[in-house]
Amino acid sequence: MAIKVQIPTPMREQTGGKAEVEVAGGTVKAALDDLLRQFPGVGPKLFDNGKLRPYVNVFVNDEDIRYLDEMDTKLTDGQTVALIPAVAGG
Amino acid sequence: MPSNDFVLGLKCRVCGKLYPKAANFYCPDDHAPLEVAYDYEKVKPHVSRAKFASRPRNMWRYRELLPLDGEPTVGPQVGGTPLVRADRLADALGVERLWIKNDAVNFPTLSFKDRVVSVALSKAREFGMRMVGCASTGNLANSVAALGASAGLETVILVPADLEKTKIYGTAIYGAKVVKVSGTYDQVNRLCTQIVMEYGWGFVNVNLRPFYAEGSKTVGFEIAEDLGWRFPQHVVCPMAGGALIGKIYKAFNELHATGIVDQPVTTKMYGAQASGCNPISDCVKSNRERHKPVKTPNTICKSLAIGDPADGYFAANLIRSTGGWAEDVSDPEIVDAMQLLAKTEGIFAETAGGTTLAVARKLIESGRIPRDEEIVICVTGNGLKTQDAVFEALEEPATIKPSLAEFKALAGLSQPAAEPVLA
């Protein structure tokens, strides 16, 4: 199953410059596990002690996963997961 | 010398790592926000009360503590709004000493946002940017459009589609490209972050945010100066993204750090939100470490309707650490407070001002703010922009024929003097 993960600029050093990475997984957690398997350098930028860092928001097809099932949010083929810094606005 | 070479760089608010001055807004290591850091020892010999006072009464008199490399080129006359001693309101609330910091009359677009935008757009020009923009709940849209126009910058402004008409037309009039997004502010904001990452434009509250937010400090500098260079005991401040409350406190600390005010900062900071969008006040009241985002805000106070505030964590922490508190109020309480402020002090604040006053009243009545200590309430926007909110609460004026008899028949007006005035 192909899921696209959009990578924010400062993480692209860890993805070989790629702005979008194809991963497999039936949930957000599985998809991000696969991202880390392919590009281990992303790990410390995205997670702290196994928990998603508080200043990164994760969106599935433009919906914040905190309003879905968080890391257990189900994914289907062709969906896009976007990792977006959360420090804008106001 | 340039007006400012005191900036050390941009510092991560979580890991403390220092980065060079650039249009960056988050730490590449942990994605936490960046903040402008200054060398206060270096600032110290260059600032004094007399030097500030010798300059025109606007926000740039504190320029050594603002992050520009050169002179401000956008908004040179912003700020310098009145700190109003509010005795009639104090009587109504049953407190002794009360002031309103009145940014409802800030120049040019009648909200405190002109302060942050003039810093952000001056900085954008220093970075050589031509295209600027923002995500906005309204006041920021007005300000970026007006100040951008005055500087000949191209502006693109994204707002939630359900925003008050006055705020949308009050933005389009300046020639800005306005885009209405069918979604909440948080969705608009997320889209703007994606636009910035794709196009590299200067969005004041995205990639220019560290510089932008510094402009809010001038509210704090002005409060301290107008009180005779001292700090009030209690400051009540509206919270949307949660940055303003922190910057007012940062301003007080900077005045102390640079020797302008000897008195250490012991001010208690209080945050105000609407109950229909209260992520930060809920975080404080329920003693949560981090706020729970509000997916769909529902309040007449649209200018504070940010469900997932970027500075929520920092605002809640500040409130706790200063010994302050946070509260939220209902829409009817907001309208009631807007009327109270207008009737007692002649100040027509927008819904956010009503929210802040209503919260102050609640905190006074619950004993959180003592009645015999000095209180400053921050009014950050003008009621003319949110008139829809009060129409229903106001009595429709009577209509009469141009006849003295009909005028006399009106109930509720004072009786004429015993002798005819013009006899």
Same-domain pairing of B248 and B206: no
Same-domain pairing of B164 and B225: no
Same-domain pairing of B196 and B225: no
Same-domain pairing of B207 and B347: no
Count of alpha carbons within 13 angstroms of residue B376, beta-carbon side: 27
B15 touches chain A (CB under 8 A): no
Establish if B225 belongs to a structural domain.
yes
Same-domain pairing of B135 and B276: no
Q: What is the pLDDT of residue B27?
A: 94
**Tens digits of per-residue pLDDT, B293-325?**
999 999 999 999 999 999 999 999 999 999 999
Residues of chain A contacting B209 with CB distance shorter than 8 Å: 87-88
Describe chain A by its helix, strand, coil percentages, rounded to 5.
35, 30, 35
Distance from C-alpha of B238 to C-alpha of B349, rounded to nearest angstrom: 12
Question: How high is the mean pLDDT of chain B?
Answer: 95
The mean per-residue pLDDT over the stretch B366-376 comes to: 98
Amino acid letter, B66: L
Catalogue the long-range contacts made by B53-60 (C-beta closer than 8 Å, 24 or more residues apart).
Answer: B53/B225, B56/B80, B59/B115, B59/B118, B59/B215, B59/B218, B59/B221, B59/B222
B70 pLDDT more than 80: yes
Establish if B258 belongs to a structural domain.
yes
Establish if B20 belongs to a structural domain.
no
B1 pLDDT more than 50: no
- Number of residue pairs across A and B with CB atoms under 8 Å? 87
Same-domain pairing of B233 and B256: yes
Contact A87 B240 (CB under 8 A): no
Establish if B1 belongs to a structural domain.
no
Distance from C-alpha of B239 to C-alpha of B252, rounded to nearest angstrom: 18
Give the DSSP letter of residue B358: H
End-to-end CA distance of chain B: 70
Of B288, B381, B374, the closest CA to residue B326 belongs to B288
Same-domain pairing of B221 and B153: no
Q: What is the pLDDT of residue B416?
A: 72
| Three-point CA angle B369, B370, B371, nearest 5° | 115
Q: What is the pLDDT of residue B4?
A: 61
Q: What is the pLDDT of residue B411?
A: 75
Establish if A90 belongs to a structural domain.
no
Establish if B65 belongs to a structural domain.
no
CATH number of the domain within which B231 lies: 3.40.50.1100
B232: left (phi over 0), alpha (psi -120 to 50) or beta: beta
Using CB atoms, pick whichever of A8, A45, A86 lies closest to residue B197: A8
Establish if B70 belongs to a structural domain.
no
The mean per-residue pLDDT over the stretch B163-171 comes to: 89
Distance from C-alpha of B4 to C-alpha of B302, rounded to nearest angstrom: 36
Using CB atoms, pick whichever of B193, B205, B240 lies closest to residue A85: B193
Cα–Cα separations (whole angstroms), residue B60 to A16, B122, B269: 45, 12, 25
Neighbouring residues of B106: CB distance < 8 A, sequence distance ≥ 6: B78, B79, B81, B112, B113, B114, B115
Using CB atoms, pick whichever of B31, B242, B313 lies closest to residue A90: B242
Q: Which residue has the higher pLDDT, B371 or B165?
A: B371
Contact A55 B32 (CB under 8 A): yes
Q: What is the pLDDT of residue B318?
A: 98
Amino acid letter, A20: E
Residues of chain B contacting A45 with CB distance shorter than 8 Å: 28-31
Q: Which residue has the higher pLDDT, B392 or B304?
A: B304
Using CB atoms, pick whichever of A44, A66, A90 lies closest to residue B309: A90
**Tens digits of per-residue pLDDT, B202-249?**
999 999 999 999 999 999 999 999 999 999 999 999 999 999 999 999
Distance from C-alpha of B120 to C-alpha of B88, rounded to nearest angstrom: 37
Domain carrying residue A30: 3-85
Q: What is the pLDDT of residue A1?
A: 57
B2 pLDDT more than 70: no
| Max CA separation in chain B (angstroms) | 83
Q: What percent of chain B has pLDDT over 70?
A: 98
Count of alpha carbons within 13 angstroms of residue B385, beta-carbon side: 30
Chain A nearest-CA residue for B245: A90
Cα–Cα separations (whole angstroms), residue B221 to B83, B88, B261: 11, 25, 11
B3 pLDDT more than 90: no
Same-domain pairing of B90 and B124: no
Most B CBs within 10 A among A48, A55, A61, A84, hence the mutation to make, goes to A55
Residue B236: in which H helix or E strand, if any?
strand B234-238
Establish if B292 belongs to a structural domain.
yes
Taking the whole predicted model, whether its pTM rises above 0.90 is answered as yes
Residues of chain B contacting A82 with CB distance shorter than 8 Å: 194
Distance from C-alpha of B268 to C-alpha of B321, rounded to nearest angstrom: 9
How much is the CA Rg of chain B, to the nearest whole Å? 22
The mean per-residue pLDDT over the stretch B277-287 comes to: 98
Distance from C-alpha of B306 to C-alpha of B278, rounded to nearest angstrom: 9
The mean per-residue pLDDT over the stretch B122-141 comes to: 96
Do the interacting molecules here have an ipTM over 0.95? Answer: no
Distance from C-alpha of B59 to C-alpha of B167, rounded to nearest angstrom: 24
String of b and e for B326-351 (b: at least 16 CB within 10 Å)?
A: bbbbebebbbbbbebbbebbebbbbb
Same-domain pairing of B104 and B119: no
B422 pLDDT more than 70: no
Q: Which residue has the higher pLDDT, B4 or A31?
A: A31
Residues of chain A contacting B30 with CB distance shorter than 8 Å: 45, 48, 53, 55
The mean per-residue pLDDT over the stretch B155-183 comes to: 94
Contact B32 A67 (CB under 8 A): no
Same-domain pairing of B202 and B241: no
B419 pLDDT more than 90: no
Domain count within chain A: 1
Of B209, B208, B301, B193, the closest CA to residue B246 belongs to B209
B414 pLDDT more than 80: no
For residue B382, name the pLDDT band (cuts at 50, 70, 90): very high
The mean per-residue pLDDT over the stretch A25-36 comes to: 97
Q: Answer for the pair B347, B293: CB distance below 8 angstroms, yes or no.
A: no
For residue B194, name the pLDDT band (cuts at 50, 70, 90): very high
CATH number of the domain within which A56 lies: 3.10.20.30
The residue among B167, B188, B212 that closes a domain is B212
Count of alpha carbons within 13 angstroms of residue B2, beta-carbon side: 13
SS3 for B325? coil
Point out the least confidently predicted range of A52-61, B50-59, B315-324, B328-337. Answer: A52-61
Establish if B179 belongs to a structural domain.
yes
Distance from C-alpha of A21 to C-alpha of A46, rounded to nearest angstrom: 15
Distance from C-alpha of B126 to C-alpha of B146, rounded to nearest angstrom: 19
**Tens digits of per-residue pLDDT, A68-89?**
999 999 999 999 999 999 888 9
SS3 for A82? strand
Contact B25 A84 (CB under 8 A): no
String of b and e for B2-27 (b: at least 16 CB within 10 Å)?
A: eebebbeebbbbbeeeebebebbbbb
Same-domain pairing of B178 and B272: no
Domain carrying residue B167: 113-212
Residues of chain B contacting A67 with CB distance shorter than 8 Å: 293, 295
Q: What is the 3-state secondary structure (H, E, C) of A4-17?
A: EEECCHHHHHHHCC
> For the purposes of burial, counting CB atoms within 10 Å of the CB of B169, is it exposed (0-12), middle (13-18) or buried (19 or more)?
exposed
Same-domain pairing of B196 and B226: no
Question: Per DSSP, which regions of B246-353 are E strands?
Answer: 268-274, 326-329
User: Can you give the length of chain A in residues?
Assistant: 90
Domain count within chain B: 2
